[in-house]
Amino acid sequence: MTGMETVSTLRRKTAVITGAARGLGRACAIRFAQEGADLVLVDVADDVAGVPYPLGSADQLEYTADLCRAHNVSVLTVVADIRDPASVHTVAAMALERFGTVHVLLNNAGIAAPSGKAVHEIDEAEWDLMIGIDLSGAWRMMKAVVPTMVEQRSGSVINVASTAGLVGYRHFAGYVAAKHGLIGLTKAAALDYAPFRVRVNALCPGSVRDDPVHEGRMLAEIARSLEVDVDEHEDIFVQSQPMNSLIEPHDVAGAAVWLAGDDSRQVTGTTLTVDGGFSAR
């Protein structure tokens, strides 16, 4: 190997990524593929009752897979609802059957709405939906996948939280509670699995631009819940960014690659924030 050649960061690793049909999930999947990881891409691939905007589709999930396969890695797609324990265990079983093991679990699946209400206005179904996907979904995935990591005495779990896991946001109590809970789950799990060399960390993106290449729409949905004009929402969100720009999907994907790889082998129980300084104020 010459001095100009580099070794792919995630070569010979297998990663499970939820919410992979579009947005940050797609961005992370492509970056993981570029770094040599074989992939299990998971998405509900359908709309979910109670979520007031379209979720990723089966076609989008397969398109993500095709973009990843272009980097000469093996890719398995699985349609699964992370609210359903049986579906989650099927994901783990299919991953093990195809690849033999899992080295990385990226819990990215999540929803931003139903939101836009004061705490007392949230009904039981809305609360249960938000917690069931954004918090309990990650817990279910960990229950299904982490035992394999414990057995092999290595692994990295990355829970995609948010700056909403660090601060409060008006009229987003369910989302804020779920993301704060996800960071708490991360810290507790990090201590549970540290003796087995399984690392658990949280990744907290700030306001991520809805890049059309990745077909993201999370920021637009947050704007809609806040009754912010969608045509102006990026300019409005930038005003609260100390670095005067929105976060790009590849910024978050790069942080995820670092947490997944061996360069972060002594990093566990931490919260890595990619928010342009928003939460430093």
Q: Which residues are known catalytic residues?
A: 175
CA 13 – CA 263 distance, rounded (Å): 14
| 170-191: burial string, b at 16+ Cβ within 10 Å, e else | ebbbbbbbbbbbbbebbbebbe
> Which residue has 């704060």 as its token pair?
180
SS in 3 state form for 152-187?
Answer: HCCEEEEEECCHHHCCCCCCEHHHHHHHHHHHHHHH
Are the C-beta atoms of residues 117 and 170 closer than 8 Å to each other? no
Alpha helices in the chain (DSSP H): 23-34, 58-69, 85-99, 124-134, 136-152, 173-193, 218-225, 233-238, 249-260
